[in-house]
Structure 1
Amino acid sequence: MLTTTIQSDTITSHIPTETQDVLLLRAPRQPYEFVENWPRPQIESENEVLIRIKAIGLNPVDWKSADYNFALPTLPAINGRDLAGTIVRTGSAVSKFKIGDQVFAPSTQYRDYRTSAFQQYAVLPEHCVAKVPSSTKLHNAAAIGVGAVTAALAIGSALGIEFEGFSPRKYAIGADGEELAWSSSVLSEDIGLLTDKLQHSAIASTDAKLHDENDFEPINSSPKEPWLLIWGGGTVSGHFAAQFARLAGLKVIAVANATKHSSRLKAVGVDHVIDRLNPEEAVVEIRRLTNGDLLYAVDCVGSKTAAFAIQCLDTTSSSQIVGLSGLPKTVPPNVKPSTVPIKTFHTNPRVGSELTSLLTRLLEEGKLQAPCVEVIEGGLQAVNSGLDRLRRNGLDFGRLVVKMQE
């Protein structure tokens, strides 16, 4: 049974129709096609919500998946990973939200096009949706989801460092839905859009061995100063990783375009910003700052920069690196490489629910800053031009956000 009663006259204009506008990808390396009167996604489970999308955050993966033909299980495909909007319908078991709530969500379930952002409506499980606090504008919220979830799981899951009570290694989910102890089987399974194997060198996956929880040294067990290196601090994931690391009590070094990003990164708690222009010099400076005792690194760029990040790590103690977009094929024996188990966000309701609630709370308390955004008018028909900007030059700041037309 689905709850469909509209509870306020102020939202009666948002009663969903049975059709919608969408962007379809008909074939790889083609522009997204604007299509009207496409079937609206339907709630299929009692714990799902229907969201009227008001803003879409554009991610690099939105054009890379189209250009390099990955994370496209069927064609035509509906893509898009970050959205914000208003709840317009709920399943009968939904307790976290009511109709009219403003929310944001990352679409980590790329095989389920109902969750995608490039359409007027999306359906997601309740535990994958976060409420937008009154202190945060909706278009800023559209830039949070994927970057924040990726960073939180990199710190809390892959590195196993607890922050603000978030410690998802306490539970993981198996293929049949049972909760299991955290293990390498969870880390190494197909984790979706962020670790699909690509031919493109900038986002290549890794053949490096992954390790389970027992291989990792707890953060507080070492007498060495707890530093975290973020290579790619100018990315949205780097922006959030720095903030979560500070909440965990780590000191943070970020490698980025220092001219463009230094002030912003220091404002969110980064202790040292190292310019990315000369990676070899960056390695020398990082080893000097940490006295060669760096134990933790997160690379947000790709396998080549991850190799430089590994050179910064302690050569005598057990150390760890998380690759968000690839790792080198070989690493030193004392370095434990891992990827981000993004799939656990949607397959394990406890992980997703805890994390989405945490994001809302941290935003409300002023402990988490959303990235800066540039808002693009024009709705779905403006998405292709926005992605072309990302494809050509990337961004010198946070996110491009497309404002949907009413």
Structure 2
Amino acid sequence: MPTSISAFFGCLNCFSRKTDEVIIATPISYDGDSEGPEKLSRATNSPERTLQRLEKDSASVKTHAIPQIHKFLTNPALLVVAKGKYEVRESFSFPSLSHDGEVVIRTETVGLNPIDWKSVDYGFCLPDFPWITGREMAGTVERVGSEVTSLKVGQRVWTSKNSSSEHEMFTTTTLLITRPAQIVVRCFQKYVTVPQHTVLPIPSNISLEQASCLGVAGLTAAMSLWHWLQVSGSPTVESKTISDSGYLLIWGGSAVTGQFAIQIATLGGLKVIAVTSAKMEGLARQLGAAHTIIRDGKSGDEIVSEIRAIAGDGITRGIDLVGTETASFCLEALSTTQRALFAPLAMLSSKADVPANISVETVEMKQFVLNEASKVYADALNRLIEQGKVVLPEMTVLQGGFEAVLDGLERVKRGDMAGKKMVVRLSL
């Protein structure tokens, strides 16, 4: 049975954290007839919310004034009510602020990804019903907590959301925040509440639709390359275990994630070999691939032979975006004498024979949500886009309500996107 190695935006029920404390935040609503503050401070907010910190040996109580969103606003949502079954709800539970470092965003565009339909059809990353899916979106800031300083109401932003387990947890510099299971904060709803470190301003040279392509494919490529594969250009000082130069193999180079990866790797000084279809070969070259291998009508062994004819034993980094079989062929194409890093972003069989010189990197995109230090990768991606150094994928844009989302998911499921990104502009 294949085993997922990338945990691509994986379920948080696979995440365990040892901690000496648990923090419980209990919200207080303000008057439903009032307009409600856009941003509240501890000094001026009269209703108080109690934040209890329970420690091993003693208990202390800290009081914080944390705003809660207007409780009478409606929140249309696309719910998963059972495995393989959706329901459009005109008003669902409002994703209120449960920490003063959170932001409420009004959803305007959402990006659709294969994992969105796969999780529903196959029943994973759905810890409870009803549940909301959707992992990337762009929109406008509606409310901010009192500790949010980098964002303002009315600002255009994008964000990335991973799947969640029974409780959603994220870290700040001082707190571990736990959100109750029934308050789901995925993207297929009108309002989304997220920690501020996961919210990025939209670069001035792109649209809302384009921004909703960044939270999965763009961010996955950036973090995979800069953090796990140690590619030059990282916004952090990573400890290097392999050379900055050499070849990167991308199997699935025309996929949307592959398109981002080609560009970021090329900017980092690597020579990219992209395995792609004949139809998409030209795009891979336009984006910067030094070499392309057309996969049409060829066996995996034939493709590996072509790769080795180009790079010899010099491929020290690899990404697979297709599946278990191609991941195994990627391993065969990597260097046998030099240290190499491999990120199978689809799946790697548990029976795969991994040579001792190759490190298989588990790419955990949930770390973007769980660890605020990961924001530097999204910031760096934003800068490259603002500078015009990264070209965004071609899009297919649908418009409408959540019925348009369902239509888009069916199209993604059919697999006929051919390197395009499916985006829905919501009319709610």
Alignment TM class, shorter chain as reference: 0.7 to 0.9
Residue 290 (structure 2) pairs with residue 271 (structure 1): yes
The 10-residue stretch of structure 1 (294-303 or 270-279) with the greater mean CA deviation from structure 2: 270-279
Structure 1 residue 28 and structure 2 residue 83: aligned? yes
Alignment of 1:238-317 (within 5 A): 238-259=258-279, 261-277=280-296, 278=298, 279-317=300-338
Cα-Cα RMSD = 2.2
Instruction: Deviation per CA, 1:174-196: give whole Å up to 9, x if none.
Output: xxxxxxxxxxxxxxxxxxxxxxx
Q: 408, 419, 426: which one pairs with 1:386? A: 408
Contact 1:109 1:346 survives alignment (8 Å): no
1:337 matches 2:360: yes
- Contact preservation (8 Å) 1:50, 1:121: yes
2:397 aligned counterpart, secondary structure: strand
1:50 is matched with 104
1:5 aligns to 2:72 (yes or no):
no
Question: For residues 289-321 of structure 1, what are the alpha-carbon distances to aligned partners after superposition, in whole Å with 9 as ceiling and x for unaligned?
Answer: 112211110111111111111111112222221
Q: Which amino acid aligns with 1:332?
A: P
Whose helix proportion is higher, 1 or 2? Answer: 1
* 1:166 positional shift: 4.0
1:150 to partner: Cα distance = 1.2
Q: Partner residue of 1:40?
A: 94
- The answer as to 2:396 corresponding to 1:374 is yes
Task: Report SS of the residue matched to 1:20.
Answer: coil
Could you report, residue by residue, the CA deviation over 1:264-302 in whole angstroms, capped at 9, with x for unpaired residues?
A: 222221111211222322211111111221111011111
- For the 8 Å contact 1:22–1:36, the answer to whether it is kept is yes
Are positions 1:18 and 2:87 aligned together? no
CA contact (8 A) 1:40 1:121 kept: yes
1:104 maps onto 2:158 in alignment: yes
Matched, 1:230 2:250: yes
Deviation track 1:188-243 (CA, whole Å, cap 9, x = no partner) reads xxxxxxxxxxxxxxxxxxxxxxxxxxxx73224xxxx5100011112121111112
Q: What pairs up with 1:187-206 in 2 under 5 angstroms?
A: none
How many residues align? The count is 346
Moved over 4 A (4+): none
Indicate the residue corresponding to 2:174 in structure 1: none
Question: What's the TM-score, normalizing by structure 1?
Answer: 0.80
- Does structure 1 conserve the Cα–Cα contact (< 8 Å) formed by 2:313 and 2:337? no
2:116 aligns to what SS in structure 1?
A: helix
Q: Spell out, residue by residue over 1:134-155, the C-alpha distance to the aligned partner (whole angstroms, 9 max, x if none).
A: 2001111111111112112211
Hey, what's the Cα distance between the residues in 2 that align with 1:267 and 1:17?
Answer: 50
In 1, the alpha carbon distance for the partners of 2:190 and 2:71 equals 10
Matches within 5 A, 1:179-218: 217-218=241-242
3-state secondary structure, aligned to 1:298: strand
Give me the whole-angstrom Cα distance separating, in 2, the residues matched to 1:264 and 1:17. Answer: 48
Greater mean deviation of Cα atoms: 329-338 or 121-130: 329-338
Tell me what 2:49 maps to: none
The answer to whether 1:140 aligns with 2:140 is no
TM-score, length-normalised on structure 2? Answer: 0.76
Ranges in structure 2 where 5+ consecutive residues have no aligned partner: 1-27, 31-35, 40-69, 169-182
Q: Which is strand-richer, 1 or 2?
A: 2
Alignment partner of 1:219 out of 240, 243, 267: 243
